[in-house]
Amino acid sequence: MIANTCKADVRAIRRHINSNTIAIVGSCPQYPHGAVDPITELAALAKSHDIGLHVDCCLGSFVVPFMRKAGFDFPGESSRGTARLRSGLTMAVRCRV
């Protein structure tokens, strides 16, 4: 994590990928600070290593599903989760094959 932005450090993640890595996880946004990880860069990194990318949408779950229609797409993303448990709602996970 980059301290002053609270976002995922793509360079650090790249350095730690090895033969045991099966997926990268990013947040869009993360709960405590509302920071959005660089999902496009994480997706490209996951795709280049043929591993999964899971995007945790947390509170962004109300907006993120419509981002593709607005022109935002994340090629390489393999799953996206939304967890509304904090509000007493159910959890839904969307997977793309």
Q: What is the pLDDT of residue 49?
A: 95
Which helix (H) or strand (E) is 48 found in, with range? Answer: helix 39-48
Q: How far is CA 67 from CA 18, 57, 74, 85, in A?
A: 31, 12, 10, 22
Task: Tell me which architecture the domain covering 10-95 has in CATH.
Answer: 3-Layer(aba) Sandwich (3.40)
Q: Is it the case that residue 88 has pLDDT exceeding 60?
A: no
**Can you tell me the distance from the alpha carbon of 15 to that of 73, in angstroms, rounded to the nearest whole number?**
25
Domain limits of the chain? 10-95
| Tens-place pLDDT, residues 6-56 | 888 999 999 999 999 999 988 877 766 777 889 889 999 999 999 998 888
**Can you tell me the distance from the alpha carbon of 13 to that of 63, in angstroms, rounded to the nearest whole number?**
26
